[in-house]
Structures are given as structure tokens and as C-alpha cells.
């Protein structure tokens, strides 16, 4: 475990589950089929952690094998944990600042999807098209910091 000089908090998309860790260790992306399925993505981004505290709610868990449970938010489905006999790993994208947890190794590389290596070379959609869409979006996602009350209380008329 190496100490990390950043705020190591995070949580699910809807904010029902929040966590804080004391330190992060090995950050990886795992190409195995179980991680692809559990994340609904091309790979699983995971980091070993120590001193994990659930600061709001708790994840629901699914035994994805005889040895591993995977935790996720029961309200919004965000993947959160990979729990195995040697410890717990957290989903890197669930951290409030995932850029502070850069992966350093690839796992199960033999199972990587055949198009994975070409992803950085994909053409880029013009930025102004995305900006036009994003200008119409009203996010209901929990912000990337701890909150005292969530969701925010609706303003009342009285």
C-alpha cells in the first residue's frame, strides 16, 4: 500500500452509497469476461484499498464465483467492489477523482476484446456536437464530493 495525497472518497452515481479509503494500492484494468460483464464495459478498472469505510449506505453484493463477491449500488447499479479472500478492490471510476488512481498494470490480458488496442485511434466526435447536447442535460448524479444531505431537498413554497 502506498499513501496517496488526495481525497480518496467516492461513491455510486445516485449517491445512495459513499465510501472513503485510507490508501490505495495496486490499480489495474482487468480484461476477464467476468469484469467485462460486471462493469458492462470493455474491462474492469479496480484498485486495492486499505481502511475502507462506507460513509453512506452499503453496496448490495453478488457472488460472481465461489470466491468473489461484487458489490454494487442497489438503487442505481453502479459497480463498486471486487471482494476476494485476500481483500477488497474498488472500482476506479467510482472515485470522486479517478484521475488520482491511474492504472499501472493490465490483468487477464489474454481475454481482452479484439478491438481494445485500437480504441485510442478511434475518430473523435467534434466537440461542439457534444457541447450542444450537454447544454440540455440536467444531471441527477451525485457530485464528486461528500454531501451532508442527498438528494437535495426540494425548495418549498412556504
35 binds Zn ion (CB under 5 A): yes
Contact window for Zn ion (CB under 5 A) among 10-18, 21-29, 58-66, 122-130:
10-18
Residues 6+ apart with CB under 8 A from 32: 44, 107, 108, 111
111 binds Zn ion (CB under 5 A): no
Spatial contact of 34 and 6, defined as CB atoms under 8 Å apart: no
Burial class of residue 7, CB neighbours in 10 A (0-12, 13-18, 19+)? middle
- Cell, residue 14: 445516485
Residue 53 or 130: the one with the smaller Cβ distance to Zn ion is: 53
Q: Which position among 8, 9, 10, 16 is part of the footprint of Zn ion (CB under 5 A)?
A: 16
**Peptide bond between residue 151 and the one before it cis (omega within 30 degrees of 0):** yes
Residue 86 or 124: the one with the smaller Cβ distance to Zn ion is: 86
Work out how close the CB of 31 gets to Zn ion at its nearest, in angstroms, rounded to a whole number.
Answer: 7
Residue 73 or 91: the one with the smaller Cβ distance to Zn ion is: 73
113 binds Zn ion (CB under 5 A): no
Residues 6+ apart with CB under 8 A from 156: none
Task: Quote the CA–CA distance of 98 and 120 in Å, as a whole number.
Answer: 19
12 binds Zn ion (CB under 5 A): yes
Work out how close the CB of 149 gets to Zn ion at its nearest, in angstroms, rounded to a whole number.
Answer: 16
Work out how close the CB of 3 gets to Zn ion at its nearest, in angstroms, rounded to a whole number.
Answer: 26
**Within 50-109, which residues bind Zn ion (CB under 5 A)?**
73, 75-76
Q: Which position among 4, 32, 42, 68 is part of the footprint of Zn ion (CB under 5 A)?
A: 32
Classified as helix, coil or strand, 130 is: helix
Which strands, in side-by-side order, build the sheet including 9-11?
9-11, 18-20, 53-56
Which residues of the shown chain bind Zn ion in the complex (CB under 5 A)? 12, 14, 16, 30, 32, 35, 44, 73, 75-76
Amino acid at each position: 500500500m502506498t499513501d496517496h495525497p488526495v481525497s480518496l472518497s467516492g461513491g455510486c452515481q445516485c449517491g445512495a452509497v459513499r465510501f472513503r479509503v485510507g490508501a490505495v494500492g495496486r490499480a489495474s484494468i482487468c480484461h476477464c469476461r467476468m469484469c467485462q460483464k460486471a462493469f458492462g464495459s470493455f474491462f474492469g478498472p479496480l484498485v486495492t484499498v486499505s481502511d475502507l469505510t462506507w460513509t453512506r449506505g452499503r453496496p448490495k453484493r453478488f457472488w460472481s464465483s465461489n470466491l468473489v463477491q461484487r458489490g454494487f449500488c442497489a438503487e442505481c447499479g453502479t459497480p463498486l467492489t471486487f471482494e476476494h479472500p485476500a481483500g477488497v478492490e474498488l472500482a476506479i471510476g467510482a472515485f470522486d477523482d479517478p484521475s488520482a488512481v491511474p492504472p499501472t498494470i493490465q490483468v487477464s490480458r489474454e481475454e481482452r476484446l479484439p478491438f481494445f488496442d485500437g480504441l485510442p485511434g478511434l475518430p473523435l466526435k467534434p466537440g461542439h456536437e457534444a457541447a450542444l447536447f450537454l447544454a440540455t442535460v440536467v444531471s441527477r448524479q451525485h457530485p464528486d464530493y461528500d454531501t451532508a444531505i442527498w438528494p437535495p431537498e426540494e425548495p418549498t413554497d412556504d
